């Protein structure tokens, strides 16, 4: 994640020790609203098998935030805890949502679609398993883990335990109390949990009431239904629908609907020649101008620039084309 620059927004506080670890964070009270970023790399972890770990929250899209890059010899894991991200790995485009885990393998080219980082909260870690003695593993266990990850899925549902282990490591580094044995223990637990998640071939089946609500909301293109009406149709109270939606998707019903329509918009821009005005109308936006504004906030790019980017090949909209 090294190419990921600090969000271009005002931060409440910033502490930077130079070449090692850096922390950019708001107070706990304002964490929900202000950008946050912390990372430890370039030897700051004091463990050669863990070259980088970090976490970040950003509230708006950043153009040019994650250009094409690789991690020599390192697996990288990303846990998305809020929002959604459109990334690519080699020739595969991935739409990641809250509650998902991503693994990129050593030396794989990857980055954000159009190099734009979208509003999100993520935790990431890079690990080198090619080094004998990494994390105190025996050579047999280390090779078995490498083989498993090389043949595993690229994405999977993340469990709370994934974020727990990475946050525990980050908390220790930020407080200056990280010890190698502590970091290695949490890293091993994270790696085992990640391998388990990425080798499961069956996704969790969503609550049928939430699946029903999703179908109703997708069909209601003109957004005539209110949330209480949707809840009534699926036999839930409004508050309980909100709770179950949050559990299933990591988003509120309104946020899920916005993200779903943006995903549809991206697919239509990439795979059809429909005019922007028609796409906006088909997806229930009040005007093409409102759609374009919402799309730029979500992706960091204007709709036409996104269409050109995806048709010219994975990876990139230049900043010249986003104005």
Which string of DSSP letters, residue by residue, matches 210-236? HHHHHHHHHH-TT--S-HHHHHHHTT-
What CA–CA distance (Å, rounded) separates 123 from 118? 14
What CA–CA distance (Å, rounded) separates 83 from 299? 12
User: Tokens 């979208």 label which residue?
Assistant: 118
> ∠ CA 251-257-259 to the nearest 5 degrees?
75
pLDDT of residue 97: 84
Do β-strands 75-89 and 100-104 pair in parallel, antiparallel, or remain unpaired?
antiparallel
pLDDT of residue 27: 32
Q: Are 245 and 255 in contact (CB under 8 A)?
A: no
Percent of the chain predicted with pLDDT > 70: 82
pLDDT tens digits, residue range 113-154?
876 778 889 999 999 999 899 999 999 899 999 988 988 888
What CA–CA distance (Å, rounded) separates 186 from 169? 7
Percent of the chain predicted with pLDDT > 90: 33
Return all residues near 201 (Cβ < 8 A) that are at least 6 apart: 153
What CA–CA distance (Å, rounded) separates 149 from 298? 31
Nearest CA to 279 among 253, 321, 317, 307?
A: 307
CA-atom Rg of the chain in angstroms: 21
Query: Between 246 and 228, where is the model more confident?
Result: 228
- Secondary structure class of 278 (helix, strand, coil): helix
pLDDT tens digits, residue range 5-58?
333 322 222 333 333 454 433 333 333 556 788 999 989 999 999 999 999 988
Give the phi and the psi of residue 117 in degrees, each rounded to 5.
-85, 130
Query: Token pair of 5, please?
Result: 């620059």
247 pLDDT more than 90: no
- Name the band, by pLDDT with cuts 50, 70 and 90, for residue 75: very high
Query: Token pair of 110, please?
Result: 């990857």
Query: Between 278 and 10, where is the model more confident?
Result: 278
Query: Token pair of 42, please?
Result: 């370039």
pLDDT tens digits, residue range 209-240?
888 888 888 887 666 788 999 999 999 999 99
First to last CA, the chain: 26
pLDDT of residue 171: 95
pLDDT of residue 2: 43
Q: What is the DSSP letter of 33?
A: T
Mean pLDDT of the chain: 80
Nearest CA to 304 among 287, 288, 281?
A: 288
pLDDT tens digits, residue range 146-183?
988 988 888 888 888 899 999 999 999 999 999 999 99
> What's the whole-model pTM score?
0.63
Exposure on the CB side of residue 125, measured as CA atoms within 13 A? 27
Cβ count within 10 A of residue 28 = 7
What CA–CA distance (Å, rounded) separates 323 from 312? 18
- Name the band, by pLDDT with cuts 50, 70 and 90, for residue 206: low
Instruction: Label residue 32 left, alpha or beta by phi (over 0 means left) and psi (-120 to 50 means alpha).
Output: alpha
């Amino acid at each position: 994640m090294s190419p990921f620059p600090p969000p271009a927004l005002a931060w409440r506080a910033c502490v930077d020790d130079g070449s090692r670890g850096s922390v950019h964070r708001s107070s706990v009270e304002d964490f929900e609203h202000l950008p946050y970023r912390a990372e430890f790399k370039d030897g700051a972890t004091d463990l050669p098998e863990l070259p980088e770990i970090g976490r970040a929250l950003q509230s708006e899209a950043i153009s040019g935030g994650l250009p094409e890059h690789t991690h020599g010899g390192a697996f990288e894991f990303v846990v998305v805890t809020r929002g959604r991200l459109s990334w690519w790995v080699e020739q595969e485009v991935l739409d990641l949502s809250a509650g998902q885990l991503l693994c990129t393998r050593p030396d794989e080219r990857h980055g954000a679609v159009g190099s734009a980082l979208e509003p999100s909260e993520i935790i990431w870690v890079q690990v080198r398993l090619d080094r004998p003695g990494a994390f105190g593993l025996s050579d047999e266990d280390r090779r078995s883990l490498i083989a498993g990850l090389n043949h595993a899925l690229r994405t999977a549902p993340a469990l709370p335990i994934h974020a727990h282990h990475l946050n525990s490591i980050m908390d220790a580094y930020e407080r200056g109390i990280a010890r190698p044995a502590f970091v290695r223990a949490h890293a091993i637990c994270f790696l085992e949990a990640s391998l388990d998640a990425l080798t499961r071939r069956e996704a969790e089946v969503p609550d049928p009431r939430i699946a029903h609500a999703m179908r109703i909301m997708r069909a209601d293109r003109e957004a005539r239904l209110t949330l209480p009406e949707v809840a009534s149709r699926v036999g839930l109270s409004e508050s309980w629908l909100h709770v179950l939606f949050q559990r299933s998707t990591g988003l509120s019903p309104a946020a899920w609907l916005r993200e779903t329509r943006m995903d549809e918009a991206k697919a239509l821009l990439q795979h059809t020649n429909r005019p922007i005005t028609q796409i906006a109308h088909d997806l229930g936006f009040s005007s093409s101008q409102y759609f374009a504004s919402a799309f730029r906030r979500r992706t960091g790019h204007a709709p036409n620039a996104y269409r050109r980017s995806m048709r010219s090949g994975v990876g990139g909209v230049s900043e010249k084309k986003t104005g």
